[in-house]
Structure 1
Amino acid sequence: MALVPYDPFRGLERMRNYFDQIFPDTLYPFHMQMPVVPIDLHETETELIASCDLPGLENKDDVDIDIENNTLTIKGTIRRTHDVNEKTFRQRERFEGSFHRSITLPYLVDENATKATYRNGVLEIRMPKRQQARKGRVQVDFH
């Protein structure tokens, strides 16, 4: 007899699957909300690089990238082309709809020199770091 590890969420997953079968998407639309868009952020000496998995983008108009007040915001829409009759779906897990994610950047970046590429379902944003202001001692004049 094989031992099966205890999974405290197994019952919740069964209940979710049960509700998915009972209620059609039109009555129970909230189970398809996209989880938080995962973003990896790393740096080199000269730039910050953000990477996130966004499978299903079809063209550049489906995603907007903004950098304002040291915050990177990625938002857009994933559309799926349906070759399958809606009534024949037995399970649907791939996300379709709008997404939005904002993160605070650890450094000031040059918004005008930022470049983004989308390849194989991964969005990569390369943001050059701004030159840091030089530290200097301020002299105080006493009168």
Structure 2
Amino acid sequence: MADKKSKKNKTQQNATIAVNRQATHEYFIEERYEAGIVLEGWEVKSLRDGRVQLKESYVTFRRGEAWLAGAHISPLLSASTHIKPEAVRAKKLLLNRHELNKLIGSVERKGYTIVPLSLYWKHGRAKLEIGLAKGKQLHDKRASSKDRDWQREKGRILKHG
């Protein structure tokens, strides 16, 4: 019985593949969406090995569909012999029509940006969390950095005091 419990905890901890920490620094995230992602076999193997980077990635819309661009998935050396892996190819995102229409409208009319936040496993499938975001100004970044430092300092004071 104890083995099942520890195995479940391990899968919960390893569910996150990659996080785009820069996104929360650069943008105010207003809404979050979960999107499926269309991958090739070698990409799935690389994701399982943790060879992905979301730092410079972004979401675009073409012909009414959402696409992840700029995400770098490094191919494994032993992944495939007959396929030439393309590390930075555009990957189609799977969203409901209602969600797509809402996101496209927000980007075109209200000036929002769609930013990839994190990549994780859910029921054996790779999912991408995307956020509807507004860009931060320099003074906003300074204020959020100051708040983060104060929260850290407050935690230290409460812990020791």
TM-score (norm 1): 0.33
TM-score, normalisation: structure 2: 0.30
Higher RCO (CA 8 Å, separation ≥ 6 residues) = 2
Q: More helix per residue: 1 or 2?
A: 2
Specify the structure having the higher radius of gyration (Cα).
1
